[in-house]
């Protein structure tokens, strides 16, 4: 469902908190990449917001399509 590249790096220290890692893939087309943090920082990290807000945001974004 997300329109972003999903991270496949299961060894990353940020996976528990990263939307890019935990996002549900699109059923149709999805891009993947193994992003690698550098010096305890990942420039591609997207922090997960709490579930109700995340669901509301994704629902509203989908409605605009």
Is 47 domain-assigned? yes
Is 51 domain-assigned? yes
Domain count, the chain: 1
At residue 54, φ and ψ (nearest 5 deg) are -65, -45
Is 1 domain-assigned? no
CA distances from 41 to 12, 14, 45, 48, 64 (A): 10, 9, 8, 16, 33
Domain membership of residue 32 as a residue range: 6-63
Is 10 domain-assigned? yes
Is 35 domain-assigned? yes
Q: List the pLDDT tens digit at each of the 65 positions of the chain.
A: 568 999 999 999 999 999 999 999 988 899 999 999 999 899 999 999 876 555 565 555 556 55
């Amino acid at each position: 469902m997300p329109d972003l590249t999903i991270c496949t790096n299961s060894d990353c220290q940020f996976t528990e908190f990263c939307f890019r890692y935990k996002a549900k893939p699109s059923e149709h087309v999805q891009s993947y990449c193994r992003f690698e943090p550098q010096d305890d920082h990942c420039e591609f990290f997207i922090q997960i917001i709490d579930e109700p807000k995340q669901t509301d945001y994704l629902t509203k974004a989908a409605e605009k399509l």
